[in-house]
């Protein structure tokens, strides 16, 4: 993805590289759920909002990113959010793949593993097109802008730990990081997100040589060790072809092998961190 690629912003739980502060939509936070909805996870509430809230405005003029994403406003009368709608679907074996299906696959994989590293993304139809709809929020910096402004997190180690899990996710989804705008930071909490998976899930049975795995959270590794392969195949089959899916399964094994090698070499305390 080139320099003109969009910055995808996310809202999840508490809730670009190319857009300046004046261009970023101001998004109101979701209100606290009513007592009757208190048992429903915030992720599911937001998914439901994106899937069902009326669309009150669509800005097609921006044509954000190579895929020409639309800026969408949703308002159900109680809350209002903006989101990006992407309908391009050029899956492999297309020479230059770029597909909203890979965005949906990345989010679904994030849900399966319980990571919370990928923004809430749902499938929806708009103006007769089917695509991915992803919310975003105000008050974020890209890793690119953070470095340019020399913004320092209050807990550098905790921040670096989050980046290590992002590296693990990039290897799992085989998503080379071509732009530091792919990493978003909520600067009030220093929560880190990985965005833009439109070219992800290359059918490679190797890990990314430029994204070396050094450490990982215990949560991420436990999710990889305990994942239900049948469930993974079933839930991702609608987004990935056979080669992409088989390569994903292989990379999961390669990641675990690499983590085990590092633990033998350096000790568990040096490789795994909490949570």
CB crowding 62-100: b at 16 or more within 10 Å, else e: eebbbbebbbbbbeeeeebbbbbbbbbbebbeeeebbbb
* CB neighbour list of residue 132: distance below 8 Å, 6 or more residues apart: 85, 86, 100, 101, 103, 104, 121, 122, 123, 124
User: Which pLDDT score is estimated for 124?
Assistant: 97
Is 121 in contact with 217 (CB distance < 8 Å)?
Answer: no
159 is a domain residue = yes
- Tens-binned pLDDT, residue by residue, of the chain (275 aa): 443 443 343 333 333 333 333 333 333 333 333 333 334 579 999 999 999 999 999 998 866 556 678 889 999 999 999 898 999 999 999 989 999 999 999 999 999 999 999 989 999 999 999 999 998 656 789 999 999 999 999 999 999 999 999 999 999 999 998 789 889 999 999 999 999 999 999 999 999 999 999 999 999 999 999 999 999 999 999 999 999 999 999 999 999 999 999 999 999 999 999 98
Query: What is the token pair recorded at 19?
Result: 């857009």
Are 109 and 159 contained in the same domain?
no
User: Which pLDDT score is estimated for 40?
Assistant: 57
Are 94 and 200 contained in the same domain?
no
Range of the domain at 189: 140-270
10 is a domain residue = no
To which residue do tokens 């993974």 refer? 232
- The last residue of one of the domains, among 135, 158, 179, is 135
Are 127 and 188 contained in the same domain?
no
Are 192 and 224 contained in the same domain?
yes
Are 117 and 219 contained in the same domain?
no
User: Which pLDDT score is estimated for 30?
Assistant: 36
Q: What is the pTM assigned to this prediction?
A: 0.84
Are 126 and 237 contained in the same domain?
no
- Cα–Cα distances (Å) from 84 to 105, 217, 270, in that order, read 16, 30, 39
- The last residue of one of the domains, among 93, 109, 135, is 135
240 is a domain residue = yes
Are 266 and 153 contained in the same domain?
yes
User: Which pLDDT score is estimated for 265?
Assistant: 98
User: Which pLDDT score is estimated for 69?
Assistant: 85
Q: How many domains is the chain partitioned into structurally? A: 2
Are 68 and 104 contained in the same domain?
yes
| Distance of alpha carbon 157 from alpha carbon 110, whole angstroms | 23
Are 256 and 157 contained in the same domain?
yes
* CB neighbour list of residue 260: distance below 8 Å, 6 or more residues apart: none
Are 56 and 121 contained in the same domain?
yes
Compute the C-alpha angle 121/109/96, nearest 5°. 75
Are 160 and 265 contained in the same domain?
yes
Are 100 and 165 contained in the same domain?
no
32 is a domain residue = yes
3 is a domain residue = no
Q: Which residues pair with 73 in a beta bridge?
A: 57, 82
């Amino acid at each position: 993805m080139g320099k003109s690629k969009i910055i995808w912003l996310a809202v999840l739980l508490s809730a670009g590289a190319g857009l300046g502060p004046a261009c970023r939509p101001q998004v109101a936070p979701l209100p606290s759920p009513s007592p009757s909805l208190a048992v429903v996870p915030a992720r599911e509430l937001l998914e439901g909002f994106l899937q069902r809230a009326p669309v009150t405005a669509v800005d097609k003029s921006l044509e954000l990113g190579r895929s020409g994403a639309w800026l969408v406003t949703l308002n159900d009368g109680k809350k209002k959010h903006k989101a990006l709608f992407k309908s391009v679907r050029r899956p492999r074996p297309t020479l230059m793949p770029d597909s909203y299906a890979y965005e949906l696959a990345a989010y679904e994989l994030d849900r399966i593993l319980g990571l919370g590293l990928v923004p809430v993304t749902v499938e929806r139809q708009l103006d007769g097109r089917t695509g991915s709809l992803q919310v975003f929020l105000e008050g974020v910096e890209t890793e690119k802008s953070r470095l340019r402004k020399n913004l320092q997190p209050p807990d550098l180690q905790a921040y670096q730990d989050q980046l290590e899990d992002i590296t693990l996710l990039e290897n799992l989804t085989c998503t080379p990081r071509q732009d530091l705008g792919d990493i978003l930071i909520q600067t009030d909490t220093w929560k880190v997100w990985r965005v833009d998976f439109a070219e992800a899930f290359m059918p490679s049975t190797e890990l990314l040589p430029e994204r070396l795995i050094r450490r990982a959270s215990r949560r991420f590794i436990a999710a990889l060790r305990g994942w239900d392969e049948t469930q993974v195949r079933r839930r991702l089959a609608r987004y990935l072809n056979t080669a992409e899916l088989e390569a994903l399964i292989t990379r999961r094994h390669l990641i675990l092998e690499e983590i085990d090698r590092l633990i033998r070499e350096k000790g568990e305390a040096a490789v795994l961190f909490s949570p």
